[in-house]
Amino acid sequence: MNNLAFKESPHIKPNGVEIAETILLPGDPLRAKFIAENFLENPVLFNEVRGMLGYTGEYKGKKVSVMGTGMGAPSMAIYSWELIHIFGVKNLIRIGSCGAMQDNINLYDIILAMGAATNSNYAHQFNLPGQFPITASYELLEKAKKIADGRDCSVHVGNVLSSDVFYNADKTAMEKWAAMGILAEEMETTSLYLNAASAGVKALTILTVSDHMIRHEQTTPEERQTSFTEMVDIALALV
């Protein structure tokens, strides 16, 4: 996407409402609405284009925004790029769900994504002369770990798989990634971390385990939308 194409067809239209320098990014726009209405003071809607709801409010006296990003690396790529380059966001915190790939991880555990393995080709556009390590902001990661350690929750720090494939025809793929120590699978961290790195801003993915890919356990869509509050508390504490 070039700047001209963006100006002709923006995907975020805040209509004069400020977007804060720190933003929480759930995949589900209804989760963004739930967070705004239950965690923020004086939330104001800043985007509803394509149903991707975004709000700006206050948390303990500091401005913070929250907006849905949709599913997959391309959707996250569009919204995070616009938030960074057009609206000046400096801290992007993905809060999402994931499928656990290790037996010592349970439903509702918290995962802090230190890095992301991927089968996405998103990094190709940067024309780098090699492979780039897709990693979180250490500053945000360190702070999030300290915050999480002070709470009554089970937290894991490590690498996740940021996949372009939801329904994988290769039934051995999960076993191969799990053997490399991958904690869980999700779909958005690759483009978020790459966009942040290329722009010199900070990004972190905080995940709640919604499914267990080994034990075939899962939560309901309603639970994923409204009950994953621990990771929201950790993310907001970073503000």
Binding-site residues, please?
Answer: 11, 27, 31, 50, 94-97, 186-188, 210-211
The sign one gets for the Cα dihedral 177, 118, 103, 170 is negative
Q: Annotated binding site for phosphate: which residue ranges?
A: 27, 31, 50, 94-97
Contact 118, 159 (CB under 8 A): no
109 is known as an active-site residue: no
Q: Which of 103, 109, 170, 211 is catalytic?
A: 211
- Nearest Cα residue to 115 out of 157, 163, 79, 74: 157
In whole angstroms, how far apart are CA 173 and each of 120, 180, 199? 14, 11, 32
Q: Annotated binding site for a purine D-ribonucleoside: which residue ranges?
A: 11, 186-188, 210-211
Active site residues: 211
